[in-house]
Amino acid sequence: MSKQSQTARKTVKDIAAAKGGTPLVCLTAYDAPTAALLDPHADVLLVGDSVGMVVHGLPSTVGVTMEMMILHGQAVMRGSQQAFVVVDMPFGSYETNADQAFLNAARIMKETGCQAVKIESGAYAAHQISHLVERGVPVMGHVGLRPQAINVEGGFRAKGRTVSERDRVVAEARAAADAGAFAIVIEGVAEDLAAEITAEVSCPTIGIGASAACDGQILVTHDMLGLFDWTPKFVRQYADLASVVSGAAAAYAEDVRTRRFPGKTETYSLRKPEA
């Protein structure tokens, strides 16, 4: 029996029970080694469609495919043992109708072994969420700034800054919760709006550019680790790995060019003949 199979993962009930309690620790993960490092510290690992921008260099998340999400989801499941793993459903995989959403969600769960999927919860999403939940697929919602809607919005901008927009975000969160979402990500909204939504819905909220009043927080791990020159306002960098990686590469390049690497300790030698 594998070590992973002997370790009890957090369940959807564990995540749902965090409402009003100790905040949930959530981070993104896209590969097995990173997942293994984050796993002891995180309640939730999100295989976000942000992988398209963070790992693949795409200009937005719109170009992310089902195959990409499944590949990265498989890697994160291999690397983690105890965290609750959620995989994003990419743009175009759930919006058409509830049957499309179920077929694609079922494929993600079967091929990755993840515990839940996440969908960006526009006004249309409540029916899809209830359809999935009724058929055994735990769903995490996502309201506020919705990256998959960048082409409609014209860019990544905060939400809920007008009364009508504020009312819409609250309504979408309420609809997602009523439809059975076990948790809802709130992205890029004013602090008081995130606090209002958190008080309004019965499921845990997970903030990103939202409020400390949320029931949990999530950041893109690469942002948190300082791997990019620019990060959004809501990111707090806990390391400066860009400098570490760049410095290591520079030192390696210098050693190669001056023939200091490989040295004696990194080089194989012939074995002595046996007597």
HEC string of the chain?
CCHHHHCCCCCHHHHHCCCCCCCEEEEECCCHHHHHHHCCCCCEEEECCCHHHHCCCCCCCCCCCHHHHHHHHHHHHHHCCCCEEEEECCCCCCCCCHHHHHHHHHHHHHHHCCCEEECCCCCCHHHHHHHHHHCCCCEEEEEECCHHHHHHHCCCCCECCCHHHHHHHHHHHHHHHHCCCCEEEEECECHHHHHHHHHHCCCCEEEECCCCCCCEEEECHHHHCCCCCCCCCCCCCCCCHHHHHHHHHHHHHHHHHCCCCCCHHHCCCCCCCCC
Catalytic residues: 187
Q: What contacts 88, CB < 8 A, 6 or more positions away? A: 46, 47, 48, 49, 50, 64, 69, 117, 118, 119
d(CA 37, CA 120): 27
Token digits of residue 176: 């997602």
Q: What contacts 8, CB < 8 A, 6 or more positions away? A: 82
